[in-house]
Structure 1
């Protein structure tokens, strides 16, 4: 559905995106992940042909530069910073953007409003909406022409935890319905919840391309498990884990154990098999 080959974007002497190549299959969700300044937003804007760039981008076989109008019909975009008119209602906003998209008169917004749970807010002014509702409105605008592709730039960056979870549920339902997605984020939890593949960018370069469940191995992360145990279970837990060669130490009302990527389950299974009860645990 999307092919990016040797994408490079320079601002003077600064290279924001450096020789980036990747592809996105139909129905796949791909995350651009990295710290601020890694090149995520620049890559997204190149995908939308908002910046001139070096390299090639094709969308459903169409050249993103030479056939930009045709490409825009295939793509819905949700920006990080919203720029709606606060004095317009939700209904007026949708009508305004529907006219810009040249949708036929009498367009029925009802199914879209119900899908995004905006029906009860249809007469509210945009300025009265919470951040989460404004983001849902932005998603509604992106979906007006039912495009097969959604591109989202840090879509939950300004949302609180509850609004973020609600928005991710909506995105998962759209993915299940067959939408192809490319989104940027620096939140690891939303990447693992939504993405089929993660592209880790550093200084504009692609350093990892992997499914979310392989990130730990690819990056060679070490995880610390904090296990909270009954007092009587602490010494047996220490003996069990030391016997497996794991670096473990007592920590308050439990133990702390350092585990290699993919070995968290091994720790819990070993303690279960040894009859050690675990009250709770946290991951660092």
Structure 2
């Protein structure tokens, strides 16, 4: 659905993106992952035609530079934060943006229904929570029914409940056939949504992998603090170490390092040895 070939973007002497080759398959979700300054947002700006670049970007077969207007009509964009007119109602906001995008404003009701905001249509935007504002931004991106959604850190300002709701919406849209390109700093979001992850650093593509393999490829670990009765601490430590865990004493409990997808494994190991775990914490 999107093909990026030898994409390079320089700001003066600084190279933000260097010779990037990337293919975004149709009907899948691709995540751009990397530290701040890796070039993720610059890639999105090039894709949206907001900055000039070297190389080629094709969107649904269209040259994003030479056929920019046609290509952008195939893309719905959700920024990290979206500016609204707070005095307008939710419904009036969507109708206003529909006219800007030159699509029938009769689409306002269906897109609000898609994101679960139809019952809030008469509320002023100022009355919306952060999660509801981000769902409104998604509704605006869905105007014109574009086949591609591009999202830049869409959940970074949301609480846990709003983030889960938003990810559920994106998962449903992907299941309905949308192609999704998004950036995120949250491993759990990538694991839940991304079919493919493009790992970037210093403007270069480091590697591609499936979303559920990112933690392993990066060598990431989770630290779990296990609490148990004091008289079994030494026995529990010996059992975990014998089973290959990196474990050590930590105050009144044990600190165990595991891969993100194996958080329950040390607890099961101790359970099989009939050692009770009273509580646990995860970093």
> Could you tell me the TM-score, scaled by structure 2's length?
0.90
Note the 1:113-152 alignment, pairs <5 A: 113-152=112-151
User: How far did residue 41 of structure 1 move?
Assistant: 1.0
Distance verdict in 2 for CA 1:119–1:258, change over 3 Å: closer
234-243 vs 135-144, which deviates more? 234-243
User: How far did residue 274 of structure 1 move?
Assistant: 2.2
CA contact (8 A) 2:2 2:59 kept: yes
User: How far did residue 232 of structure 1 move?
Assistant: 4.4
Distance verdict in 2 for CA 1:85–1:238, change over 3 Å: same
Distance verdict in 2 for CA 1:103–1:124, change over 3 Å: same
User: How far did residue 195 of structure 1 move?
Assistant: 1.5
Instruction: Write the deviation string for residues 49-74 of structure 1: whole angstroms up to 9, x where unpaired.
Output: 21111111111221111121221121
Q: Which residue of 2 aligns with 1:277?
A: 276
Distance verdict in 2 for CA 1:19–1:279, change over 3 Å: farther
Q: Which residue of 2 aligns with 1:85?
A: 85
> Could you tell me the TM-score, scaled by structure 1's length?
0.90
3-state DSSP of counterpart to 1:77: strand
CA contact (8 A) 1:220 1:261 kept: no
Instruction: Write the deviation string for residues 226-264 of structure 1: whole angstroms up to 9, x where unpaired.
Output: 222233442331221232354422223321233468665
Q: Which residue of 2 aligns with 1:167?
A: 166
CA contact (8 A) 1:6 1:20 kept: yes
Unaligned runs of 5+ in 1: none
User: How far did residue 183 of structure 1 move?
Assistant: 0.7
CA contact (8 A) 1:17 1:205 kept: yes
3-state DSSP of counterpart to 1:109: helix
Q: Which residue of 2 aligns with 1:59?
A: 59
Unaligned runs of 5+ in 2: none
Between the aligned partners of 2:258 and 2:133, the Cα distance in structure 1 is 41
CA contact (8 A) 1:31 1:195 kept: yes
Instruction: Write the deviation string for residues 110-145 of structure 1: whole angstroms up to 9, x where unpaired.
Output: 332222121222122223322222211111111011
User: How far did residue 75 of structure 1 move?
Assistant: 0.9
3-state DSSP of counterpart to 2:73: helix
Superposed CA RMSD in Å reads: 2.2
Distance verdict in 2 for CA 1:237–1:72, change over 3 Å: same
Instruction: Write the deviation string for residues 155-196 of structure 1: whole angstroms up to 9, x where unpaired.
Output: 122223332222222112212222110011222232222212
CA contact (8 A) 1:76 1:142 kept: yes
User: How far did residue 28 of structure 1 move?
Assistant: 0.9
- Matched residue count: 283
59-68 vs 156-165, which deviates more? 156-165
